[in-house]
Structure 1
């Protein structure tokens, strides 16, 4: 589709090049009306030579002997875009002298029109992606229309899908007041690859991707200071919406996320998701359960729970002897009245650790 030639762009070109030329420059629309000129009195008048050039798609040369009806000696060259004439450039002067100059002006205007059209296309695509992802995260979209929107657009994502959210650990304040995440290796990958649908809002960079395409994203997150939350693999729009809402709850409470990991999988964040859904008073009650533990005891407890109760793994991670680990766990049970070796009581301790991060 050909882009229309507006008077603002045309006058901008005329104002920019006029000081370097000794010839009057006019820019006409496809109907032959002058829409920009160094001679402001001519704007809005009809130029017969330009109308002929627009109609034929060929340059119209006016010799000095043929000057008439306000047409001065010079050339009128059509501006073509996508095979259609969208305007005409006219330069006054000896035709042999001004023809090369007119060609340069035509090329300049065509490049500007193509750039503006590309920018408009990019802005439209970004707006569509933002609307799609916002509907996913905030809910309220019928599955049928959602699946149609996922399949169309660029790139097409027919499924299965994964939704991801990228957070900047250095940002302060609640998500709604943080600057959107766009910089760094993750943002660069998203911008240049063309494989993702993405948008920044609510303090995160949201990325929709094909389920098999998470490897490069994870690698980019590992090389940056960002945190990548990876949603579940979803074969249907209902599960995708559910995964998106869960990610939205975690993005709203970034302080409860594990502090050391660059890539976090939603399937491993059940305790964090549970705390995110709790009333603040309930989370505070859980945090109080471990309030009297020292930093060393909390680190030991977290490592023990993460290792699934494996003493050898905890010893390896903490560089501590097995007997030391056992002594610390016994002391944790004494202080909290909850035994980390008991599965049900370990769950309460896990939730307490998460709640304490807030």
Structure 2
């Protein structure tokens, strides 16, 4: 039996439907796409976040009640009902509230949303491309999509390998990013998901790095030659995006270690406190000095980057050794201290990047 790809919902159209129906029922309403990403909501702060319970409604094609709020899973008490368009499951509509109160409305609300979507579904090319980009990026960041489906989505965009995934977290709002449309065969449009802007481009298309402001956070993945590698690169950036303090700004990239940052980002938060204890007595200047040393080819290079005399650098190292008991000449000890510094950064106790 041939597998049909889900109909892609336009976020603009979905938001129009939410804005129409939410005031009528006096409840918060969310619409999630096929990958469980909230693409429209009466609570604007939830747009772009992942909604775990909607995946259950999609998987089982049934109404799912949520009795308790789960901040980590991105859910609130309510009811989630599958959305059907042209007899295809395309997403989920969620209504917040006590399930016993809103469940009687669930089928009616889902039917109303389906009718509105069917009547007002947009066919403009640019809107379709933005929706396709969101769907592709949602699939990559959800980490649950098989490589064959990713390959088909890439082919639909006519994006040929190798690819690079970009994450941009502006220090100030950047409405201009949304206006940078896709270029056929080169890149998707920017899509806002999980607290940052995401874009997929081919290796020959220009990077956004040159446009990044000094205080903006930006990461570009390594070039991926196939869909499996692209999913792997997406998983790394997705993990880091959950800890934006660990993502470097343009001017701090030189002292940033992707390996250590990813390791800390994958560490359960309950373990970060104990990891950060070793660096508890280290201030921001000392921490920055240590990270520069770790990335430099020599002590002289580190001193030049920090614009200090080599003797001053040695004095700082000696002081850190007195405070922590760590001799950075021993690589294992030094690496442990680096992990502690990154844990402190992740917890917001040190501000380096």
* 1:88-113 CA-partner distances (Å, limit 9, x unpaired): xxxxxxxxxxxxxxxxxxxxxxxxxx
Match of 1:202 in 2: 194
Shift of 1:295: 3.3
Larger CA Rg, structure 1 vs 2: 1
Pairwise CA RMSD of aligned residues?
2.7
2:300 is equivalent to residue 305 of structure 1: no
Which residue of 333, 339, 342 maps to 1:351? 339
The corresponding residue for 1:240 is 230
Q: Say if 2:307 is the partner of 1:316.
A: no
Q: Aligned equivalents of 1:144 and 1:205: distance in 2? A: 25
Tell me by how many angstroms 1:256 deviates: 2.1
Q: C-alpha separation between the residues in 1 aligned to 2:252 and 2:334? A: 25
Does the aligned pair in 1 maintain the 2:218–2:248 contact within 8 Å? no
Equivalence for 1:282 = 271
Partner of 2:155: 151
State the shift of 1:118 in Å: 8.7
Q: How does 1:50-129 map to 2 (within 5 A)?
A: 120-129=124-133
Corresponding residue for 1:231? 221
1:325 equivalent in structure 2: 313
Alpha-carbon spacing, 1:297–1:268, altered in 2? closer, same or farther (3 Å): closer
Of the structure 1 ranges 298-307 and 255-264, higher mean CA displacement relative to structure 2 is found in 255-264
Greater helix share, structure number: 1
Q: SS at the partner of 1:147?
A: helix
Aligned length, in residue pairs: 225
Map of 1:173 onto structure 2: none
Change (3 A) 1:152 1:248: same
SS of 1:213's partner is coil
Q: Unpaired runs of 5+ in structure 1?
A: 1-115, 171-180
Change (3 A) 1:269 1:293: same
Unaligned runs of 5+ in 2: 1-119, 348-353
- Structure 1 residue 193, shift from structure 2 partner: 5.0
Q: Tell me the distance in 2 between the aligned counterparts of 1:121 and 1:282.
A: 48
The CA deviation at 1:149 is 1.4
Q: What is the DSSP-based 3-state SS (H/G/I as helix, E as strand, rest coil) of the residue aligned with 2:124?
A: helix
